[in-house]
Structure 1
């Protein structure tokens, strides 16, 4: 194949499909997106890609024909986390706009372009409206090639499947990003349609294995791999069911509670003196449990040397612990080289926007240097149209003035808009996997 395959991206978002295309030897040509921040991100990183604006304003017969059209249509109405309005919802029904554009392009080019389409969405599409929505997805995509085909509803849609027709094929499969080199569990449906042959199966399904991106160890291993069972030591489960008692179980974990919060922090401790009433002192770390007594006025009680503590720090070289006051640091201990062990409030640290981008497999620079200090008249006209459309979509009565737009262009980034972009985006390695296999088939 001498010429590169070309790509058009609908619902472009973070630019994941165009970036995956570039990394796979495919040329991205145009994109459609309405979120101003996402447009600025892809405009900065992919200046060669033409932005077409709102999908509702695009005529598929008038834009540049491409070999592949990708579209991760809005999933909010299909997701189990949403209201589940399905394809009739105000956002997820934009799926039909993508189908319209594809049909218009194929009509204008005599069925030549696009040959391939790639649709991405949440697994909730399988069960939305009791499976009817995914049946509609398959039927609409099939009718791009054959308008007379009807798809029957399944009792329960499988996480992988295919449809083979006369000179066309459709295949779908749930891919989990954790198997493609990123540290997050992100399961998404990827559906490929080949309107010129039976390549969809070969693009999506690999009967040999799944790719994994493991880093090489410094040293070669000499032993056999451990089994899951063999790699675990004795585990003790603490059962806190809301009362005063903490049950201990060696084999059965506790039931999940509706109560918010994290499991308590547990230290193996003992008290230094007997029958003290001072709860803030006389507890220290130990390896041997103290003698059981009947005292009920200390944290250890009769639990064999287990106390539930938080907000603690080390006070001396004897490894004594005490309950700390909030926002007050421990004094430095000059007689020990070890740092005092700190236990923070029971809150999970929030991921930064950059970390969210890494979880999706994107480079760190993707949202850097977005400001435009001295925009041209052409730039201002482009962004005026972007924000006018944004105001229309969101039902805003007032549109941004040129002064407000110029101010935004000098600093378009906020954490909230970046979080939103990554949350709506794709895991880049999954798209690269599919596009590389598509390119290999074409070769």
Structure 2
């Protein structure tokens, strides 16, 4: 890894393979806890170039459909945030049978091929991340299929007909736990973005998934990589109000999806509510849109303005090191469009760090 990568106090012999790697959030989080990112699979040009910049020794295998897990270097951990387009509540909801989300089964195939080739030794742990819509797509049968794919056994539907936001199952000596993590409650300081995602941990060699995913633990604090001015939080602004002549900045993120739907329905109160309140978190960053917000100093609303988040600010909302997506491995500039898309598809770093800390601890 390059010299400005954050250093860690951990030392392990663990290795990680990252499928649907994106901009390398799982490798970044793993490296912070002494786990070596060994190989990755990603087909988008800009994300591959970004991760090559930070992990020059990590192998890239490209298209997941062409990977034979039995012929790749064995790793202790395989992570994957498989495509969510067919599972998302804002998509067409084709579910796991959709052309993109069905790639989930290729990840399962690769895991099975590697375990078969290594007599069940590798990988020991798999981590899957996806949107909340996976709980409800295909009449809630998709999440059942996910659990059955990991455990290779039949999993009954919950008696309530609704999947809990946290739970565990066991089948054929595979321990599986899942939990919804919201990025706004993670990190130091916590991230000001509402981003609820399902994280699932499968332990193929024991009963450690529960400890990895549910145990309370302190995370390390990692500095940002540059010192550009930040969007001021309300709390920080109040502490520094003397420096701004007691002018308190007010930031209110727009909920654009709600704004569009309430405008269409001519719902005046809902439309006004979509402008947000001072302490509201930013809506979930998406790959296909750019978030906007309003800013003014308290008492001077008429002098306020509206603007969109910059790529740098989006990196901060994800817990990424500042400038993580700015350059590729040949120092080429990554376009803002590619940065917005890559960040919107990414995983919140503190959530990934929590899981990697647990894996480093129990393995």
TM-score bracket for the superposition, by shorter chain length: 0.7 to 0.9
Instruction: Pick from 360, 366, 375 the counterpart of residue 324 of structure 2.
Output: 366
Q: State the distance in 2 between where 1:99 and 1:47 align.
A: 27
Counterpart selection for 2:344 from 423, 429, 434: 423
Q: Which runs of 4+ in 1 moved over 2 A?
A: 164-168, 208-213, 254-263, 340-345, 367-373
Indicate the residue corresponding to 2:165 in structure 1: 159
Aligned to 1:176: 182
In 1, the alpha carbon distance for the partners of 2:74 and 2:169 equals 25
Match for residue 354 of structure 2 among 433, 439, 443: 433
2:123 counterpart residue number = 114
Give distance in 1, aligned partners of 2:209 and 2:97: 28
Q: Match for residue 256 of structure 1?
A: 269
Instruction: Summarize the Cα distance change of 1:261–1:196 in structure 2 as closer, same or farther, 3 Å threshold.
Output: closer
Instruction: List aligned pairs for 1:179-328, cutoff 5 A.
Output: 179-180=185-186, 181-206=190-215, 256-257=269-270, 262=275
Cα distance in structure 2, aligned partners of 1:418 and 1:64: 30
3-state SS in 2 of match to 1:366: coil
User: Does residue 352 of structure 1 match 2:310?
Assistant: yes
Instruction: Note closer, same or farther for the CA distance 1:342–1:140 as it changes in structure 2 (3 Å cut).
Output: closer
Equivalenced residue count is: 285
Distance in 2 of aligned mates of 1:2 and 1:360: 26
1-structure distance, mates of 2:329, 2:350? 28
- Check conservation: 2:16, 2:39, Cα contact below 8 A: yes
Larger radius of gyration: 1
Return 5+ residue gaps in structure 2 as ranges: 1-9, 222-232, 237-266, 277-298
Whether the 8 Å contact between 2:315 and 2:323 is mirrored in structure 1 is no
1:129 aligns with 2:138: yes
Alignment CA distance shift 1:42-1:137 (3 Å): same
Q: CA deviation at 1:25?
A: 1.1
1:369, distance to aligned residue in structure 2 (A):
3.6
Match of 1:20 among 8, 29, 35: 29
**Residue matched to 2:227:** none
Q: Is the 8 A contact 1:179 1:212 kept in 2?
A: no
Residue in 2 that maps onto 1:343 = 302
Change (3 A) 1:77 1:348: farther
- Post-superposition Cα deviations, 1:282-338, rounded to whole Å, max 9, x if no partner, equal xxxxxxxxxxxxxxxxxxxxxxxxxxxxxxxxxxxxxxxxxxxxxxxxxxxxxxxxx
Q: How far does residue 258 in structure 1 lie from its aligned partner after superposition?
A: 5.5
- In structure 1, the gaps of 5 or more residues are 144-148, 219-253, 264-339, 374-409
> What is the alpha-carbon distance in structure 2 between the residues aligned to residue 173 and residue 53 of structure 1?
29
Instruction: Give how far 1:3 is off.
Output: 4.8
Q: Could you state the TM-score of these two structures normalised by the residue count of structure 2?
A: 0.73
